């Protein structure tokens, strides 16, 4: 399908989708959102890009193999369990640190955020892998 309007829309909408998915991902701990829905949105942008152009073009735009993305996400999710062991707490305990920024308040970082990042990358990679393989058949 080579429609110029859809191609233009896809190339303009891809960054918007990624930014909105990162927003949904970041506020996911206390408000609606989270890693899973963020990963789905990020993959929706690339799926639309692949529908407008081609799957090869979308793979070139992604620059990284979806399988690599998935493995990276799983490794990140496993890494998030390790700091609890060093702190002497049970496995998978959420550990939080607060960074005091001078003007923008405090930034709370913790292992749940890292785990959510792993979910985000895994969902992104596996959705793109499934959809690209189906579209290339």
Partner 1 sequence: MNSYALIPEWVSISTLAMLALAILLAMFRLMKGPTLPDRIVALDLIAALCMCFAIAYAISSSEVRYLDIAAIVALVAFIGTVAYATYLKKKYL
Query: Is the Cα torsion angle 77, 47, 20, 40 positive or negative in sign?
Result: negative
The owner of tokens 């959705």 is 127
Cα–Cα–Cα angle for 17, 27, 127, nearest 5°? Answer: 45
Indicate whether 24 belongs to the interface with partner 1 (CB under 8 A): yes
**What are residue 98's DSSP bridge partners?**
108
Q: Is residue 34 a contact partner of residue 26, using CB atoms and an 8 Å limit?
A: no
Indicate whether 31 belongs to the interface with partner 1 (CB under 8 A): yes
Indicate whether 14 belongs to the interface with partner 1 (CB under 8 A): no
Indicate whether 47 belongs to the interface with partner 1 (CB under 8 A): yes
Indicate whether 6 belongs to the interface with partner 1 (CB under 8 A): yes
Q: How far is the CB of 10 from partner 1 (least distance, A)?
A: 9
| Contact positions vs partner 1 (CB under 8 A) | 1, 6, 13, 16-17, 20, 24, 31-32, 41, 44, 47-48, 51
């Amino acid at each position: 399908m080579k429609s110029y309007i859809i191609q233009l829309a896809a190339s303009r909408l891809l960054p918007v989708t990624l930014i909105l998915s990162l927003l949904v991902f970041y506020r996911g701990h206390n408000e609606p959102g989270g890693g899973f829905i963020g990963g789905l949105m990020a993959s929706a942008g690339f799926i639309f890009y692949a529908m407008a152009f081609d799957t090869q073009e979308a793979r070139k735009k992604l620059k990284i193999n979806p399988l690599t993305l998935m493995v990276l996400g799983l490794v990140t999710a496993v890494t998030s369990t390790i700091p609890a062991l060093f702190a002497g707490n049970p496995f998978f305990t959420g550990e939080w640190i607060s960074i005091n920024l001078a003007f923008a308040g405090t930034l709370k970082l913790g292992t749940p955020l890292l785990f959510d990042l792993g979910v985000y990358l895994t969902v992104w990679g596996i959705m793109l892998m499934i959809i690209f393989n189906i579209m290339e058949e």
